[in-house]
Amino acid sequence: MPRLARTHGLTDIQESILATVHEFVDKEIIPRAQRLEHDDAYPTEIVDGMREMGLFGLTIPEEFGGLGESLLTYALVVEELSRGWMSVSGIVNTHFIVAYLVSQHGTAEQKARLLPRMATGEVRGAFSMSEPETGSDVSAIKTRAVPDGDGYVLNGQKMWLTNGGYASVVATLVKTELGAPSVYGNMTTFLLEKTPGFGETAPGLTIPGKIEKMGYKGVETTEMVLADHRVPASAILGGEPGKGFYQMMDGIEVGRVNVAARACGISLRAFELAVAYAQQRRTFGKPIAEHQAVAFKLAEMGTKIEAAHALMVNAARLKDSGQRNDVEAGMAKLLASEYCAEVVQEAFRIHGGYGYSKEYEIERLMREAPFLLIGEGTSEIQKTIISRGLLRDYRL
């Protein structure tokens, strides 16, 4: 077993799941990732394999057909998947967040209707907060839901939906004018159901097409346009308006653990590529791994991977225990994403000129790592969350 990023105290079931996923990554994902990524092709066969393993239902309770595993198990699976190809982990990430939101906040009817089909991957989830003019400032969203008879009419434009095309249900945060004293009490999460695909996938709900990206290819990222899209009141997550912001923030906390796990996975793959290349490439009569300049790079990369992995595991375990983990999740996401960018760049430098070639995997990682500095909140937003939490706990 590799030395880096080992997690102690796992159950036999967790160990078995991770061993199965590790083998799947080595045999099914890594050999295909380069071709699929360069073609920006959807990894249909890989997704089918993940469905067969039950990964779409990994954290969904057993009573609804899932495996009932913890956030920690899920994060470690994501780490493994990202070691193979980050886009594959993205396919299950937003699905997992939506399943988590339904499990934690949904009505009995929403759980019974959605979770069994989400567990099999028949129904896939997407998560929507951002808008064209709104990213980190969630209070500034403009999409609105207006009461209309026994339902609501939604109008607005949402942005950056991972799985926006293939998803059947989109957890969507909108403004609802409820007269609450705080803007955050005037937000509601709706579970918008649609047909997978592009174009008008439900009356008044349009997925225009894929957004072209520098990296993170294979998995689609889309907009969503709502034009007089009518939904019943039963589409409100949990059945009660005004709780959307707090529900979504709960989902974002697990999402930040997920991003930290993705960063750890990419860092691990970058290290694997660098340490292998450094032992094969020879200069001045010996492998470059024997040159102190390169050996020290490997030492620093390994140390950063260990530190990021430890923070990620701690944040996941805190959430699993029912404790607040906003600060710890922010720390994990901040450190893991920043270290990932650094580790990947060092691996790129070790490869020299070959790292700039599309024939080498490190070129892909160089385009993927920057996404993690942005997804689920920028590093600056994480620092804001962390500092507020620390000042709250250490206030004089």
Query: Residue 376 catalytic?
Result: yes
CA-based radius of gyration for the chain: 21
Per-residue DSSP letters for 229-261? EEEEGGGBGGG-TT-HHHHHHHHHHHHHHHHHH
Contact partners, residue 386, CB within 8 Å, separation at least 6: 327, 330, 331, 334
Considering the candidates 220, 346, 361, 376, report the single residue annotated as catalytic: 376
Per DSSP, the three-state class of 188 is strand
Query: Among residues 168, 181, 41, 188, which one has the least CA distance to residue 117?
Result: 168
Q: Say how far apart CA 89 and CA 80 lie, in whole Å.
A: 9
Contact between 76 and 59 (Cβ < 8 Å): no
Beta strands in 243-346 (DSSP E): 282-283, 286-287
Q: How far apart are CA 361 and CA 384, in angstroms?
A: 34
Distance CA 100, CA 118 (A): 11
CA quadruple 203, 238, 250, 43: dihedral sign: negative
Positions marked active-site? 376
